[in-house]
């Protein structure tokens, strides 16, 4: 499978790239700073670009079989970045008739299948107080993906992400049901790479946790 990965030089993005290559996929890593991605592999190509540039996003997506977005809020914060990135990615996928999209997200984003606990509600409140603009941008990104007619999956990760080993053992569930507050980034990447082939969670947003 030919996959383009946005946010490929991030902490989770790098792991997705590495595991996708190990699984035999051809990977195009879309990054703003190529020097941050130290991986080398015969099936890896790296393209420098900006997700806010629709033409560059169009070029990267052309000819791919699937798209992975491991983008998160920029530091320092860029207002509307995630929403604009989603618009550019979705537009390019529509133009090039590519249907499969997997995006990373957090449990702060609600899902109809969630049954949030009091702790879950408190966490969302605490996040929203100092970073309302960031939360609104994340929400916009999420809404745009959900409203598309693509075969999307949003892999939601819990608040506590660690750099633990790649175990391949984790749970999928929804807030209030079969989830915890911890996950290793390597296992988050494991879910994404496997879901690309399995397609078990199309138009769903499960929480991946231990």
Mean pLDDT, the chain, integer: 95
Provide the pLDDT confidence category of residue 26 given band limits of 50, 70 and 90.
very high
- The pLDDT tens digits for 144-181 are 999 999 999 999 999 899 999 999 999 999 999 999 99
pLDDT greater than 80 at residue 205: yes
Q: pLDDT tens digits for 96-111?
A: 999 999 999 999 899 9
| DSSP code at position 38 | -
Domain segments of the chain as ranges = 2-209
- Chain centroid to CA 122: 24
**For the ranges 44-58, 117-131, 137-151, 153-167, which has the lowest average pLDDT?**
117-131
CATH of domain 2-209: 3.40.50.720
- What is the per-residue pLDDT for 127? 73
Q: How distant, in Å, are the alpha carbons of 110, 174, 178, 191, 205 from that of 115?
A: 9, 7, 11, 22, 14
Structure tokens at 145: 């993906």
The residue that leads in pLDDT, 130 or 63, is 63
Q: What is the pLDDT of residue 123?
A: 78
| pLDDT for position 129 | 65
pLDDT above 90 (res 47): yes
Q: What helix, strand, coil percent values describe the chain, rounded to 5?
A: 40, 25, 40
Q: How much is the average pLDDT of 63-71?
A: 98
Q: Give the residue among 10, 67, 97, 45 at the shortest CA–CA distance from 196.
A: 67
């Amino acid at each position: 499978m030919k996959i383009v990965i946005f946010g490929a030089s991030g902490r989770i993005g790098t792991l997705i790239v590495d595991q996708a290559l190990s699984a035999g996929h051809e990977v195009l890593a879309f990054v703003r700073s190529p020097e941050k991605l130290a991986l080398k592999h015969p099936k890896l190509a790296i393209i420098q670009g900006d997700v806010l540039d629709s033409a560059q996003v169009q070029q990267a997506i052309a000819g791919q079989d699937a798209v992975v977005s491991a983008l998160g809020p920029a530091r320092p914060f860029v207002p509307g970045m995630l929403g604009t990135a989603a618009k550019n990615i979705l537009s390019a996928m529509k133009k090039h008739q590519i249907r499969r999209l997997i995006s990373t997200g957090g449990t702060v984003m609600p899902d109809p299948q969630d049954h949030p606990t009091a702790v879950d509600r408190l966490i969302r409140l605490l996040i929203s107080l100092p970073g309302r603009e960031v939360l609104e941008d994340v929400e916009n990104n999420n809404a745009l993906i959900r409203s598309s007619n693509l075969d999307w999956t949003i892999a939601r990760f819990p608040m506590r992400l660690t750099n633990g080993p790649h175990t391949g053992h984790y749970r999928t569930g929804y807030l209030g049901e079969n989830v915890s507050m911890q996950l290793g980034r390597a296992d988050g990447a494991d879910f994404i790479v496997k879901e690309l082939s399995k397609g078990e969670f199309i138009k769903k947003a499960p929480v991946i946790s231990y």
